[in-house]
Structure 1
């Protein structure tokens, strides 16, 4: 995990929409207007993919991918967007590419919340449908390895390698693009076909419901899910980095109590009951600035800068170059 916010006493108040709620927002002009004014530090799209049936939020079959919904919502303003993904459904290369594309589209105001299981997904070994990772069990180790593989891919093509030097004819210092040969629960070979973004890499969050989990592997923040009680939150704060407690927008007094128990912030979501449009409205019309005036204000800079997160450690410092050094004036 990267360093926590510069002021450990300043909470981060984020929100979350289910896939059905996000779809309802996109289809309703009034909800889109409320979204554009929403004052969360960021909003997770597709939280039902990680929460599952236990919370009554199981996504419907055939629903849109959270990364697609996040991209569509980002065109209507609003807070930074973080989409939900699961290690055993989203192969690292595909996940890394979708996330970095969104990060470019939003000007560095996006991220991924990575969990171990998708509530619609298979229960056998990770990626077995693709014939990959036959020995990768669903759980913390596979999720940590997936997180590392994704960050390595994000870091493989440095943005400042694009020089556009007309005099030399060199557009990209291709020798600075690094090869990714990840060998773990999954295997990847890079580099990614997209350069890093304005914020270096998208913000990476980790989701889990076990308060004893230590969220191994890289990440910028962790979400303790399952609407935890104060004792669970107190345990979760032993996690390095920022620990956000999942909480209900329908009970803000209880949510505030999780902050006093030691959580560094909250991820507020709706609970089952009502149509997706009704529950989305209850979240988007809550005045977070009044209820949590001490919280980190949403920023219009990159999400990483807005949350005062440090850049992730360079995981490819020893990686070989993917290409040879370009020659000047080779096309003249």
Structure 2
């Protein structure tokens, strides 16, 4: 469905493309709303207005996050994307509240929408464009480990389902003449947008709070330690965190107190190489300790002859 765009485009090109797509979709939806005055189509357009703002934020966040580490930011600038995603989530929530206000006003005043097939066709075109680009963003987010792209893709997919629901509901309005369905649809859209906004904020805050890597990634790290840690007595204090596309791993390695620094360093090199081979781009920090630092529990690497 994405025509391979997610594999061919760079992060910068995807961020720029998202701005262009979001602006095109916004104008299509504003056109559909202008043709009808429908509150449901207004709610759909409001979500696209958020998409434009979020796309601009993501463009700046991706550029900033790609900056190398410097004296003021020793671990890089990867978390910039989380700030973008948090702001996007807040904007989604604000858009939902604005839609609720418009929908309630329409219910109270009994305003009717002048629905036309042309307006629905224009909105359907916007839906298809969003569907295509949402797939590009989500697949690119996974490939590049980008929380900004992933959040943007999920928001666009939410927008797609919203537009689909609005389209079905407005077709019913045309067929039945039940104009009250228009503001009711807008309220349902607002609830869906609010749910998505809260989820985006929650996941982005997890990233800012140094949430550990996934269970699968932790298992991969432990497997690498078991296989490459021969010569070490124990690995304990394993900690992980993710910051955008970067992953950080640190742990304590206990060795025989009589082991030379060169021998201990050789084990560290093996461990780092094995973990980085399993999880490309990971940053590994190992603290070497003598055998009196053994703990009651930890990972016991396989002896060299067992590998």
One fold, TM greater than 0.5? no
RCO higher in structure (CA 8 A, sep ≥6): 1
TM-score by length of 2: 0.24
Larger Rg: 2
Q: Which has the higher helix share?
A: 2
Q: Which has the higher strand share?
A: 1
TM-score by length of 1: 0.23
